[in-house]
């Protein structure tokens, strides 16, 4: 279907969840703005994910919905906004229903089985062909939108950035760089073991003059407290935070080490050098999407990238990961990003 960009004044992007997926979907925004020059771009997410795009200057407004809100109820609210075009970046059964019921003239989504009815413009690219951020771009290509940017975005409100900066000024020792440690992970199997985090932090501290800021959310308390207890004096526990407050702390780190998680993607999107630690998931598809970042994975395990939510073995992908390999990756990131991190060889 041919689309005249002059006629497009309001665009809706649907990406309900999770935080990392919403952040990765922002790869489309600069391209949409460049092609549909007069259009306002809105987002539809679930309530908990609003902050992933709420402070983005490329986004006009964020609509939210409850996790189990009836699709027709959501669609009726969308109808009142008079959109010309919708991109269903999720294209799951529920978002397909919402898209179909919205009545928007141009409905663009992926041609997944059982959902084609919802769209009148279909992208056929399957999952797994490229990084999950770039998968979103297939919806642009199908209508001829040039891909001139592959930037992803997360914008921290100034209030949260200033609050984090002031808090850290009061608790951190002078002259030390701050490495953020994020033990979060949506699956149990994606969480690097707390004992391994201690080993990694001790090895980093032996080489560099740094302190560690543990950034945590609901469900991370045990790992965060373990790390703080077993490496006292060198680790600092961030206070309980919202997503945007955590992002404020991330923004004030020299480097971040993280499991495959939403905060890892937020860190990469903000341009913070980020090292993703991977095991059951594929970093080629889900790693930190930034030229300033990298990942590490124990490639020689026969069970690596198992995609199991619970490890049926002994979590060898993390427990057997050589700490020296992590240190070597950190050294590469320091050089790549021209970071000034003082050596601490005598400790």
CA nearest neighbour of 110 among 83, 85, 131, 137: 137
Interior CA angle at 177 toward 172 and 183, to 5°? 80
Residue 247 · residue 264 · CB < 8 Å:
no
Query: What is residue 82's predicted lDDT score, i.e. its pLDDT?
Result: 97
Instruction: Give per-residue pLDDT as tens, 256-267.
Output: 999 999 999 999
Instruction: Give per-residue pLDDT as tens, 132-187.
Output: 999 999 999 999 999 999 999 999 999 999 999 999 988 888 778 999 999 998 89
Enter the CATH code of domain 5-141: 3.40.50.2000
Secondary structure of the chain: what % helix, strand, coil (to 5)? 40, 15, 45
Burial class (CB in 10 A: 0-12, 13-18, 19+), 33: middle
Query: What is residue 347's predicted lDDT score, i.e. its pLDDT?
Result: 46
Helices (runs of H) and strands (runs of E) counted in the chain: 14, 12
CA nearest neighbour of 277 among 312, 322, 339, 233: 322
Residue ranges matching CATH 3.40.50.2000 in the chain: 5-141, 158-336
Instruction: Give per-residue pLDDT as tens, 41-71.
Output: 999 999 999 999 999 999 999 999 998 899 9
CATH domain 158-336 topology: Rossmann fold (3.40.50)
The set of residues, in sequence order, having a beta carbon less than 8 Å from that of 268 and lying 6+ positions away, is 152, 274, 288, 289, 290, 292, 293
CB atoms within 10 A of CB 97: 18
Give me Rg for the CA atoms of the chain. 21
């Amino acid at each position: 279907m041919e689309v005249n960009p002059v006629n497009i004044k309001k665009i809706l992007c649907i990406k309900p969840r999770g935080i990392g997926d919403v952040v990765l979907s922002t790869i489309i925004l600069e391209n949409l703005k460049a092609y549909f020059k007069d259009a306002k771009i809105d987002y539809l997410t679930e309530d908990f994910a609003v902050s992933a795009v709420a402070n983005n200057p490329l986004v006009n407004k964020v609509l939210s919905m409850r996790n189990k809100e009836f699709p027709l109820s959501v669609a009726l609210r969308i109808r009142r906004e008079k959109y010309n075009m919708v991109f269903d970046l999720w294209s799951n059964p529920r978002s397909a229903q919402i898209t179909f019921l919205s009545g928007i003239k141009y409905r663009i989504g992926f041609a997944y089985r059982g959902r084609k009815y919802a769209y009148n413009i279909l992208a056929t690219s399957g999952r797994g062909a490229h990084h999950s951020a770039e998968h979103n771009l297939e919806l642009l290509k199908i209508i001829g939108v040039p891909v001139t940017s592959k930037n992803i975005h997360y914008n921290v409100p100034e209030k949260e950035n200033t609050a984090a900066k002031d808090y850290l000024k009061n608790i951190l020792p002078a002259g030390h760089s701050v490495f953020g440690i994020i033990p979060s992970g949506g699956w149990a199997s994606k969480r690097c073991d707390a004992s391994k985090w201690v080993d990694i932090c001790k090895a980093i501290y032996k080489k560099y003059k740094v302190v560690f800021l543990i950034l945590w959310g609901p469900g991370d308390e045990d790992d965060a407290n373990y790390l703080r207890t077993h490496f006292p004096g060198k680790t600092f526990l961030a206070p309980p935070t919202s997503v945007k407050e955590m992002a404020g702390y991330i923004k004030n780190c020299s480097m971040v080490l993280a499991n495959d998680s939403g905060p890892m993607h937020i860190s990469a999107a903000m341009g913070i050098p980020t090292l993703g630690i991977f095991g059951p998931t594929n970093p080629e598809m889900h790693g930190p999407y930034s030229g300033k970042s990298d990942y590490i994975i124990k490639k020689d395990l026969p069970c690596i990238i198992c995609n199991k939510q619970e490890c049926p073995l002994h979590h060898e992908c993390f427990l057997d990961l050589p700490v020296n390999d992590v240190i070597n990756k950190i050294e590469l990131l320091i050089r790549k990003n021209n970071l000034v991190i003082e050596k601490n060889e005598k400790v």
